[in-house]
RNA sequence: GGGCUCGUGGCUCAGCAUGGAUAGAGCGAUUGGUUGCGGACCAAUAGGUCAAGGGUUCGAAUCCCUUCGGGCCCGCCA
């Protein structure tokens, strides 16, 4: 029995008190208490005090005497605190055994919130004209961890990456290659995404100011890209796919995978826009402006905002008009025009598909499905207005909140890091810019971190092989970058600093992984596999109890993270769990315990910790290294 | 100008959804930890008018309003 079940059983007991007394309060809380106030606390006495015209203390006393009779066996004592809280104390002599055993299973905290419902998570969606920077990494990591959390709570999750292979940024690359003399082969085997972003894209956009001719070419090219059969379109496909392939190498290094790549060019050719546009018109969600500055345009209005042009007076749809059919497709609101073919097999053996409008002849007749009953789109908060329009429209179509824009704040650079990149500033932090080539590149950070961890690990371990050191460096560097990207809340700006990103002490991923390695080492050295059938009621000192309590609360955290789409909750949990273990490790002997029975019990506890931490880290996509 | 958002020790952040008991961490500072499983650690001390003011409430860091300060967004660009 883990925490959620205990909370639920207490809730029911309190509820039965309320029912017997014809009281209708339902919004009372039953939650873990602060240290020093038992294990679990309930606030129902406060809520009843007004209705019953009695003090919270008197009410809580009554409820306590009621509960003491009927409460679950896991509860040792119920206490009415003078302040009015009702506090419950867990009977650890009973609790230890069930929780320690349960926590070692891979399915620990696999609670069912999703009931296998189909859900789509879209993230990454970086324009295929440049390399990934640290801001993109935040998006990718949030999206990946959200998808892992949702899988953990029994959603059927499909992960999508939207490839905008037909926008202006693509036209810029083509101008660079065709009209500015940039070679299609990068010098010195430079990675193609870096070359396109740093050299071709930056170099080309810099020329628009001087050369007005180029600017008009840009729009010609943009038009030709949309004509599938044109040479320009085929060239654009070749370039963007090469950039995409290079970007995916970075993404896969981060341990992230997808189910399907959706290409914007195909969305345009699929005629989905035309279908959704007529649907919008028939439901009066758009209107043709007859007068004013938007005369001749189809526009969409929303309260407190300016009207947004969907279709220009020349009949050409605007940018947001691509997002609407795509959102509708993700929700299965319009017929799926796509077929799916294999793009590649990813490192974890998972097949990555891509959309295609071609006929395909597969052996299995079942059409693949990448749409969902619910959709989560991870896009940064600068797009919140456009996403709000899309969200509102989807709500009009479905009548519910099945489309969710999961926004997050941007990553900026510290002034130190900015000056490392050649920009002196008096500001505390500064925004990155792909167009100016001013950003911290994802491959570079990973490499820096990898080297740093490699050296640290080598310093601290004798006789580890090259491959062991590299594997540790990979686990810890990827873990570090993931952890740092989700530790702050989504609505906090991350000010990235190259130097402090290399820190490995305190509240960091290495601290957490280190606690895992220490636990593993104890288990290895013991040379036995602990017996969970023994009586484990001898784990009673404060360090043991603290650790057991943290282990038991895992399912609450999973539930919290899933219900609030909050990856940070699991990151904090991993850290707190590690803190509880580190303190235990310092103060409690395992291998030299006072008796064989105690040694066995403590080994069970260490095993339980180790499995639970590894379980939680895997939800964050972070490895658990045995040594480091 | 309009909209959104953030403001908690020197610095970086939890806590706010669902108001309740002593506002928690990490970094930095100061100090301690040989007999014990890896010091990427542990333990202790100092450091807070929870931006300001008002309101609701028995009770506000948490809810509401106003103000101040920072950030983002507001094209027939994508």
The CATH architecture annotation of domain A3-90 reads 2-Layer Sandwich (3.30)
Q: Are A423 and A444 in contact (CB under 8 A)?
A: no
**Which letter, b or e, does each residue of A317-335 get, where b requires 16 or more Cβ atoms within 10 Å of its Cβ?**
beebbbbbbbbbbbbbbbe
Joined together, the tokens standing for residue A519 give 């636990």
With a 7 Å cutoff on the CB, does A381 touch strand B? yes
Q: Is the pLDDT of residue A25 over 80?
A: no
Q: Are A182 and A595 in contact (CB under 8 A)?
A: no
With a 7 Å cutoff on the CB, does A208 touch strand B? no
The pLDDT-based confidence of A364 (bands split at 50, 70, 90) is low
The pLDDT-based confidence of A209 (bands split at 50, 70, 90) is confident
Nucleotide nearest the Cα atom of A578 (by C1')? B41
Q: What does the pLDDT average to over A280-284?
A: 95
Whole-angstrom distance between the N-terminal and C-terminal Cα of chain A? 34
Mean pLDDT taken over chain A:
94
Q: What SS3 state is found at A441? A: strand
- Chain position carrying tokens 């995916």: A248
**A136-149, pLDDT tens digit by residue?**
999 999 999 999 99
- Chain position carrying tokens 């590149």: A441
With a 7 Å cutoff on the CB, does A54 touch strand B? no
With a 7 Å cutoff on the CB, does A47 touch strand B? yes
Q: Is the pLDDT of residue A307 over 60?
A: yes
Question: What is residue A89's predicted lDDT score, i.e. its pLDDT?
Answer: 94
**A29-68, pLDDT tens digit by residue?**
999 999 889 999 999 999 998 888 888 888 999 999 999 8
With a 7 Å cutoff on the CB, does A462 touch strand B? no
Listed residue (A270, A460, A452) closest to A358, CA to CA: A270
**A418-450, pLDDT tens digit by residue?**
999 988 888 889 999 998 999 999 999 999 999
Domain boundaries, chain A: 3-90, 413-502, 509-619
Q: What does the pLDDT average to over A467-485?
A: 98
Q: Is the pLDDT of residue A365 over 60?
A: no
Protein-proximal positions, strand B, CB < 7 A = 2-6, 12-15, 17-18, 20-22, 25-28, 33, 36-38, 40-43, 58-59, 71-78
Cα four-point dihedral sign A533, A535, A537, A543: negative
Q: What does the pLDDT average to over A113-137?
A: 97
Q: How far is Cα A251 from Cα A621, in angstroms, rounded to an integer?
A: 13
Q: Are strands A308-311 and A298-300 parallel, antiparallel or unpaired?
A: antiparallel
Question: What is residue A426's predicted lDDT score, i.e. its pLDDT?
Answer: 83
Question: What is residue A621's predicted lDDT score, i.e. its pLDDT?
Answer: 98
Q: How far is Cα A63 from Cα A621, in angstroms, rounded to an integer?
A: 44
Question: What is residue A223's predicted lDDT score, i.e. its pLDDT?
Answer: 87
Q: How far is Cα A486 from Cα A569, in angstroms, rounded to an integer?
A: 9
With a 7 Å cutoff on the CB, does A73 touch strand B? no
Nucleotide nearest the Cα atom of A166 (by C1')? B78
The pLDDT-based confidence of A547 (bands split at 50, 70, 90) is very high
Residue scoring higher pLDDT (A114 or A219): A114
Weakest mean pLDDT among A79-93, A287-301, A361-375, A549-563: A361-375
The pLDDT-based confidence of A116 (bands split at 50, 70, 90) is very high
How many angstroms is C1' of B2 away from CA of A306? 9
Q: What SS3 state is found at A182? A: coil
With a 7 Å cutoff on the CB, does A68 touch strand B? no
With a 7 Å cutoff on the CB, does A517 touch strand B? yes
With a 7 Å cutoff on the CB, does A476 touch strand B? yes
Residue scoring higher pLDDT (A127 or A69): A127
φ, ψ dihedrals at A143, nearest 5° = -60, -45
DSSP state for residue A360 in the 8-state scheme: -
Q: Is the pLDDT of residue A368 over 90?
A: yes
With a 7 Å cutoff on the CB, does A85 touch strand B? yes
Listed residue (A444, A313, A323, A332) closest to A391, CA to CA: A323
A422 to A252, A273, A379: CA distances (angstroms): 30, 44, 29
Question: What is residue A142's predicted lDDT score, i.e. its pLDDT?
Answer: 98
The pLDDT-based confidence of A363 (bands split at 50, 70, 90) is low
Joined together, the tokens standing for residue A99 give 């929780």
With a 7 Å cutoff on the CB, does A590 touch strand B? yes
Q: How far is Cα A260 from Cα A367, in angstroms, rounded to an integer?
A: 14
Question: What is residue A68's predicted lDDT score, i.e. its pLDDT?
Answer: 87
Q: Are A430 and A358 in contact (CB under 8 A)?
A: no
CB-side neighbour CA atoms (13 Å) of A202: 15
Identify the CATH homologous superfamily for domain A509-619.
Answer: Isoleucyl-tRNA Synthetase; Domain 1 (1.10.730.10)
User: For chain A, what percent of residues have pLDDT higher than 90?
Assistant: 85
Cα dihedral A104, A105, A106, A112, rounded to 10, equals -120
Residues 289-328 of chain A with CB under 7 A from strand B are 293-297, 304-306, 308-309, 312-314, 316, 318-320, 322
Question: What is residue A362's predicted lDDT score, i.e. its pLDDT?
Answer: 63
> What's the angle, vertex CA A475, arms to CA A607 and CA A107, rounded to 5?
40
**A210-250, pLDDT tens digit by residue?**
888 888 889 889 989 988 889 999 999 999 999 999 999 99
């Amino acid at each position: 029995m883990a925490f959620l079940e205990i909370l639920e059983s207490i809730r029911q007991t309190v509820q039965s008190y309320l029912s017997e007394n014809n009281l209708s309060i339902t919004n009372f809380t039953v939650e873990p208490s602060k240290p020093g106030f038992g294990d679990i606390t309930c606030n129902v006495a406060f809520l009843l005090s007004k209705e019953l015209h009695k003090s919270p203390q008197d009410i809580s006393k009554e409820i306590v005497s009621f509960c003491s009779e009927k409460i679950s066996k896991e509860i040792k004592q119920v206490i009415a605190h003078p302040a009015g809280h009702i506090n419950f104390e867990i009977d650890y002599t009973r609790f230890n055994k069930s929780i320690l055993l349960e926590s070692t299973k891979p399915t620990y905290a696999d609670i069912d919130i999703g009931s296998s419902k189909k859900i789509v998570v879209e993230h990454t969606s970086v324009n295929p004209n440049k390399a990934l920077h640290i801001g993109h990494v935040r998006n990718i990591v949030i999206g990946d961890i959200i998808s892992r959390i949702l899988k953990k709570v029994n959603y059927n999750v499909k992960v999508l990456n939207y490839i905008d292979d037909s926008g202006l940024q693509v036209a810029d690359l083509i101008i660079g290659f065709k009209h500015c003399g940039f070679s299609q082969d990068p010098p010195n085997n430079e990675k193609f995404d870096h070359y396109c972003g740093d050299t071709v894209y930056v170099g080309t956009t810099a020329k628009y100011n001087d050369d007005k001719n180029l600017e008009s070419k840009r729009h010609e090219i943009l038009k030709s890209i949309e004509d599938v059969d044109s040479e320009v379109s085929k060239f654009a496909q070749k370039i963007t796919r090469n950039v995409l392939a290079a970007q995916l190498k970075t993404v896969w290094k981060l341990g992230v995978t997808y189910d399907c790549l959706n290409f914007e060019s195909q969305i345009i050719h699929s005629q989905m826009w035309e279908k959704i546009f007529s649907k919008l018109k028939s439901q009066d969600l758009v209107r043709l402006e007859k007068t004013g500055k938007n005369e001749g345009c189809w526009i969409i209005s929303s309260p407190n905002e300016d009207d947004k042009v969907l279709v220009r007076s020349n009949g050409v749809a605007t940018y947001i008009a691509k997002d609407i059919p795509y959102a509708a497709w993700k929700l299965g609101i319009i017929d799926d025009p796509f077929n799916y073919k294999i793009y590649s097999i990813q490192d974890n053996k998972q097949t990555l598909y891509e959309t295609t409008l071609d006929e395909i002849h597969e052996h299995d007749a079942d059409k693949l499905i990448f749409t969902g009953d619910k959709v989560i789109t991870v896009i940064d908060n600068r797009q919140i207005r456009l996403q709000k329009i899309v969200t509102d429209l989807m709500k009009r179509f479905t009548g519910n909140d099945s489309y969710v824009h999961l926004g997050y704040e941007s990553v900026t650079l510290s002034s130190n890091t900015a000056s490392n990149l050649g920009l002196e500033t008096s500001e505390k932090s500064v925004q990155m810019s792909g167009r100016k080539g001013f950003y911290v590149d994802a491959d570079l950070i990973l490499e820096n971190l990898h080297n740093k961890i490699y050296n640290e690990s080598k310093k601290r371990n004798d006789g580890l092989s090259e491959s062991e050191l590299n594997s540790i460096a990979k686990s810890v560097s990827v873990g570090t970058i993931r952890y740092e990207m989700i530790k702050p809340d989504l609505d906090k700006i991350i000010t990235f600093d190259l130097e402090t990103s290399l820190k490995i002490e305190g509240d960091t991923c290495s601290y957490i992984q280190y606690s895992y390695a220490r636990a593993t080492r104890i288990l290895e050295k013991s040379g036995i596999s602990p017996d969970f059938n023994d009586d484990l009621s001898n784990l009673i000192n404060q360090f043991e109890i603290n650790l057991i309590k943290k282990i038991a609360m895992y399912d609450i955290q999973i539930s919290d993270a899933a219900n609030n789409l909050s990856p940070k909750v699991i990151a904090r949990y991993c850290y707190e769990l590690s803190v509880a273990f580190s303190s235990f490790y310092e103060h409690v002997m395992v291998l030299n315990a006072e008796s064989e029975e105690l040694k066995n019990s403590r080994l069970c506890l260490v095993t339980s910790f180790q499995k639970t931490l590894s379980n939680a880290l895997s939800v964050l996509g972070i490895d658990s290294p045995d040594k480091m």
